[in-house]
Amino acid sequence: MLNISSKTYSLILYLVCCTMNGKKADPAMLSGLDADDLMEQAEVHSLAAVIAEALGSALNDRSLFSEAQARAWEEKRNQTIRTNMLFNAERQNVLALLENNKVWHMPLKGYIISNYYPNPLLRRCSDVDVLFDPEKAELVRDLMNANGYKTEDFNGNDEDIYFKQPVYNFEMHRALVDNKQEVWYDYYKNVKQDRLERVEGKEYEYRFNDNDFYVYFVVHAVKHIRYSGTGLRTLVDLYVCINKSNIDFAYIEGEFKKLGVYDEEQLMRKLSVKLFSESALNGQVKLTQEEADLLDRMIISGVYGTEDLYIENNFKKISGDKEGSSKLKYAMYRLFPPAELYRKTYPFFYKHKAARPFLVFVRGFDIITKRRKNLINEINLVKKM
């Protein structure tokens, strides 16, 4: 694990805390910073614009930043703002397209969370997630294609992906969670009827109330933590949600117990408050060992997690312990996975049971030709467990 007391990550957490509380960085807290490393790690967690906001006039201090470094920070901030403005305009176009063609829909995740930030344009947008009526999937594909979007993925899975130049990436979700997570799937199976409310002035656009949005946000975050990990921005998102929205904590805690994520949410919430509330501006934050371990994992993960963490978490889930027999159990599981696991990657074999004996050869060919390095890395990691 990384040492979270490193200067760079201590500064990242301090600078994010400044922005969350409407403050600029105290120059005394910036002494000895490594400007290039700060930028690199901020980018790993998609927090460069948030941090640039906190740096403010400190960027003019040539004992801290060279002229080129200062320009780079300012450009990151401005670039994020420009990209977000482009996405905001295009999002409205796509939502209007769905509304006008009578397709019920709901914007998800980042679009909602950004509105809780002190400046919504500082939360970097790289794609737009929209839940929509799965029965209208083909109509939506035709509408997106007619409006300049290329279909990147459309095969009956949980989401369809569309892209248009220069930066527009839309993930159109047919369901909120896949059926591999049975409890979560059952909870959200009839989400439109059970948990959504219509947006005022719209016929086909829906939304969660603040409580149910936060519940879904946490479920999504926990999914990533359990699989390949998730980064610091998730903690920032969680913090702004609990501080800027109207949450009934008795209600959400009851829902988290139903969904099996109560302990994980409690840990994330306590950690985010310790790191980003105004009391943390002095840079002195005391964490429990459990909180420090979670923060370490999130630092390592970056925004989208890592392959190594995915393998480690998957091994623990499948094997249950670290004895040799468990490694054999893991190997057999990877060689002959349950059908649900290849529903997305090999839909033909998922749909045609008679052809499944041949899947082992197809997967083997794909691994040798496309994912050999990944396989070697996985074998080496499992050997060490």
- The string of pLDDT tens digits covering residues 296-327 is 889 987 644 444 544 455 555 555 554 445 76
Query: In this structure, are residues 162 and 172 in contact, taking their beta carbons and an 8 Å threshold?
Result: yes
The per-residue pLDDT for 383 is: 58
The per-residue pLDDT for 229 is: 81
Rounded to 10 deg, the angle between the 372-384 and 324-335 helix axes is 160
Q: What is the DSSP letter of 171?
A: E
Quote the pTM value.
0.79
Cα–Cα distance for residue pair 265/270, rounded to 1 Å: 8
Mean pLDDT of 85-108: 96
Which helix (H) or strand (E) segment holds residue 159: the answer is strand 159-164
Q: What is the DSSP letter of 23?
A: -
Q: What is the pLDDT of residues 2-21, one digit of tens each?
A: 344 478 999 999 999 999 99
**Over 60: is that where the pLDDT of 162 sits?**
yes
